[in-house]
Each structure stands twice: as structure tokens, then as C-alpha cells.
Amino acid sequence: MKASQIAALILVLSGLVSVNASAADIEAGKAKSAVCAACHGSDGNSSNAAWPSLAGQHASYTYKQLKDFKAGRRNNASMTGMVALLNDDDMKNLAAFYESQKPKAVAFDGDMIEKGESIYRGGITETHVAACMGCHAPSGNGNGPAGWPSLKGQHPEYVVTQLQNFKQGLRANDTGKMMRNIVVRMSDREMQAVAAYIAGIQ
């Protein structure tokens, strides 16, 4: 994809998923998050590696995921039930609340960091896998205006599950099949390594 096409895609995505955190009601989001705390933690830091930490996540990304769950573009039995009664303002407020929270460190396999860093920063030349930092930034903070998530400090088990879901077609809400086109060329070991590196980014 040419640089001009990427720039155009970013502009389109920005218009689709933009959430102005200052316009949303963070306190209302905090109140609404009480029912989310069992899985995602009271401050958005999940204590169970099966569930994602939402603290510090771009509001634009969280908002899009909530909308996708509600519309059936992303499937998860628990989340489908949770979003059923949320209106658009609720989703924006929740997204703003979680963005305002500080992510905490999580456990990861230090033995896989070197291989994971190589993939995250340089891709995998042999199988034409692009460097993760091209979209998710060298810092792991992603790109909010483009709707690309922050991965920094995410549970490695959760990251691997999502990569596998994209690879198996169980998750298909990535714009332009961007993730699906990448992970189809990754092995399980490569996914585990990059997930460990992501978890360790400080």
C-alpha cells in the first residue's frame, strides 16, 4: 500500500471512529463502568489475562469495539450481553473513562522478548510480515486518530488469543483485513514472542 493510500485511509478512519474525550463525560463513564469491573477491573486494569486491560486505551478504539459488539461485527457472548443496553453516549463515556486511566504492568515471558522485539520493530522478512510498530508505534501506544489500538502492557495471553482469532477468521472487524492479512503468515511461536514483547513495553 502506498504512503498516499495509507494517509487517505487514516483520514477516513479518523472520521469514522473519532471520539472526543473532552466532549464525553468521564464521570458518567466511570459510573457506567461498575458493571464492567468484574472482568476489566475498576480502573480498567484486568487481573485475568483472558480479559483485556482497557486502561489507557484510545477512546476511539474502545468506542469502535463497543459499537462492533453491539452491531454483531465482533462476537463475544459476554460482551454482546453487556453492550445490549448501552446507548451511543454510554459507549463514548465509557471509552473516555478508560482512556483516562493509567495502565499497570503485567506478567510476560522474558525469554521471548528478544525475538518479539525483532518482529515488532522489524517484521518477518521471510514471510513478508510487516513490523507491528508501523501501525502500533514504536512505543506501543498505537494511533488514536486512525483507530489503531495501544498495545502497551496488554496481557500476552489476550494478545495471542486475538491474533489467533484474526488468523482463524473468528474476528473480522479489522478495517481492510489489515490484521487478518498479516497474522495468516505468523506461526504460534511468533505470535507468543511478539505478545511477550508488547506486554513488556514500558
CA atoms of 192 and 159, how far apart (whole Å) = 8
Contact 14, 147 (CB under 8 A): yes
Closest by CA position to 68, among listed 149, 141, 138: 149
Closest by CA position to 76, among listed 143, 160, 173, 11: 173
CA atoms of 104 and 20, how far apart (whole Å) = 24
Residue type, 67: K
What stretch of H or E contains 26?
helix 26-32
Closest by CA position to 44, among listed 88, 32, 165, 161: 32
Task: Give me the percent of the chain exceeding a pLDDT of 70.
Answer: 89
Q: Which fold has domain 110-200?
A: Cytochrome Bc1 Complex; Chain D, domain 2 (1.10.760)
CA atoms of 120 and 18, how far apart (whole Å) = 26
Per-residue pLDDT of the chain (202 residues; tens, 9 = 90+): 444 444 444 444 444 445 555 578 999 999 999 999 999 999 999 999 999 999 999 999 999 999 999 999 999 999 999 999 999 999 999 999 999 999 999 999 999 999 999 999 999 999 999 999 999 999 999 999 999 999 998 999 999 999 999 999 999 999 999 999 999 999 999 999 999 999 999 7
Class of CATH domain 3-99: mainly alpha
Using the CB atoms, write b or e for 67-87: b if 16+ within 10 Å.
bbbbeeebeeeebeebbeebe
Residues, the chain, total? 202
CA atoms of 9 and 3, how far apart (whole Å) = 10
Angle at 82 between CA 78 and CA 86, to 5 degrees: 155
Helix (H, G, I), strand (E, B) or coil at 129: strand
Closest by CA position to 46, among listed 59, 35, 37: 37
Residue type, 151: L
Chain region(s) in the chain for CATH 1.10.760.10: 3-99, 110-200
Closest by CA position to 148, among listed 20, 21, 62: 62
